[in-house]
């Protein structure tokens, strides 16, 4: 697993309660929370891609550190309706 994804998992777990992870591959993880859509996060060297539902967003890792992306995922889970 990439160092970015390791750090991201730690950051998400500290910000979102009831979260579960599944390692899909060394460069991709799934994030689950009861009653919410699955989020797939893929490390693509200089970028990280976040997919949920039909949405796919690509972030530059230089600007989007693991703690920043974890905060966005926290907001996603707090603003989505079950």
Biggest CA–CA distance in the chain, Å, is 33
**Is 12 exposed, middle or buried, given 0-12, 13-18 or 19+ CB atoms closer than 10 A?**
buried
Report the share of the chain in percent with pLDDT over 90.
84
pLDDT of residue 79: 82
8 A C-beta contact, residue 76 and residue 52:
yes
Q: Has this prediction a pTM greater than 0.75?
A: yes
pLDDT tens by residue, 28-44: 999 999 888 899 999 99
């Amino acid at each position: 697993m990439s160092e970015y994804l390791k750090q991201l998992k730690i950051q998400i777990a500290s910000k979102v309660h009831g979260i579960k992870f599944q390692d899909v591959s060394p460069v991709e993880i799934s994030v689950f929370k009861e009653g919410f859509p699955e989020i797939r996060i893929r490390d693509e060297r200089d970028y990280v891609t976040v997919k949920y539902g039909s949405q796919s967003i690509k972030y530059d890792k230089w600007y989007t550190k693991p703690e920043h992306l974890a905060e966005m995922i926290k907001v996603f889970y707090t603003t989505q309706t079950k």
